[in-house]
Amino acid sequence: MKRCYYCKSKNLWVLVHTKLGYEQRKCKDCLRKFNERTGTPFNRIQCRTEIIFLAIYYYTHQGNSLRVVSQILLERGISVSYDDIRQWVNKFSGMLTRYLKKNPVEEIEKNMVC
Ligand SMILES: [Zn+2]
């Protein structure tokens, strides 16, 4: 069961989904809102976490240039600048291996939404 990010209460409302599709919850005890990315380094990034890791994967594991990765995502309807991808690579590439063990690339590619 989900708990409040702030006070760890299990007393929650489920509100709407965020623009990126994450379920937003509100705590009935402390009245604060949060979602699964609250408190993570991805919280303010306007792209789903799996897309960030997929872009890093295309760059680091497939040897594509940043501009080519940006083009690959654009062909799938996801507009991301090569500079955003460069920043993601610098910031998150260390997390990629752990993430890909839980989320196979094929599954991410099937469900791409940004
Ligand atoms: Zn709370």
3-state SS string for the chain: CCCCCCCCCCCEEEEEECCCCCEEEEECCCCCEECCCCCCCCCCCCCCHHHHHHHHHHHHCCCCCHHHHHHHHHHCCCCCCHHHHHHHHHHHHHHHHHHHHHCCHHHHHHCCCC
- Residue 40 CA to ligand 1 centre (angstroms): 17
Is the pLDDT reported for residue 1 higher than 80? no
Is the pLDDT reported for residue 36 higher than 70? yes
- Residue 88 CA to ligand 1 centre (angstroms): 30
Per-residue model confidence as pLDDT tens digits over 12-33: 998 888 889 999 999 999 999 9
Any idea what the Cα angle at residue 112 is, between residues 110 and 33, rounded to 5°?
125
Question: Quick one: pLDDT at residue 114?
Answer: 58
- Report yes or no: 89 and 81 within 8 Å, Cβ to Cβ: no
Question: Quick one: pLDDT at residue 81?
Answer: 95
Radius of gyration of the chain (CA): 16
Per-residue model confidence as pLDDT tens digits over 83-112: 999 999 999 988 887 788 888 888 878 877
Per-residue model confidence as pLDDT tens digits over 53-62: 999 999 998 9
- Residue 37 CA to ligand 1 centre (angstroms): 16
- The residue to which tokens 């069961």 are assigned: 1
pTM score, two decimals? 0.78
Mean pLDDT of 54-74: 94
Question: Quick one: pLDDT at residue 113?
Answer: 61
- Residue 109 CA to ligand 1 centre (angstroms): 35
- Residue 99 CA to ligand 1 centre (angstroms): 27
Spatial distance between the Cα atoms of 114 and 48, rounded to a whole number of angstroms = 6
